[in-house]
Amino acid sequence: MEAEKLDELIEEAKGGDQRAFEALVRHTYADTYTLAYRLVGDEEDARDVVQETYLRALKGLKKFRGDAQLSTWLHRITANCASTYIGRRGKHRHEPWPDDVDIADTAAERDPGRQADLGDLRNHLIEALMQLPPKLRAVVVLRDIYDLPHESIAEQLDITESAAKVRLHRARRRLRERLYPLGEEQARAI
């Protein structure tokens, strides 16, 4: 959707036009759901987070000034809703990574043994990611999956850029400790 049309829809939705808001939801739903799913790791939970995201967006739309893009604003709301949801959930769920997510390279596709090893690695990585506290997980997802720069991560999570860097460092360290509990050097030697 072109920027001019999107701006027009935002203004109409701010004025109370329900159809305009519905059009904004249709336009942003896939990205919002994908982010929610990556943050909570469960389809049903992601749908709950998305629903809460759009409820908060509807309530707060009049305050949206347009300083940031609509997608950035929604990412921030989604990350906050996911964090709140996980906190309320009070437990970690460990679901297997969907089969349509491909981290295997072409060499692994030709080698069934390597493909199985990569599948195990993927499952261990997802499990380790889901065990991170929501604030750390959000930074890893935004940086390493969405490839956002630190500045954008900070803006979306409403933290400083240095806080985003610190959280990313801590998250990666925790992931490394979970994936390589003996230390990288010892794990490679085994």
Q: Is the pLDDT of residue 112 over 70?
A: no
Residue with tokens 């049903």: 44
Q: What is the CATH number of domain 107-189?
A: 1.10.10.10
**Mean of the per-residue pLDDT values for the chain?**
81
pLDDT in tens, 147-161: 888 988 888 888 999
pLDDT > 90? residue 169: yes
Residue 93: band (very low, low, confident or very high) from pLDDT cuts 50, 70, 90: very low
**Residue whose pair of structure tokens reads 């701006």 in the numeric block:** 7
What dotted CATH number matches 3-89?
1.10.1740.10
Domain parsing of the chain, residue ranges: 3-89, 107-189
Q: What is the pTM of this model?
A: 0.62
* Helix axes of 150-157 and 70-89: crossing angle, nearest 10 degrees: 60
* 3 state DSSP class of 11: helix
**pLDDT band at residue 77 under the 50/70/90 scheme:** very high
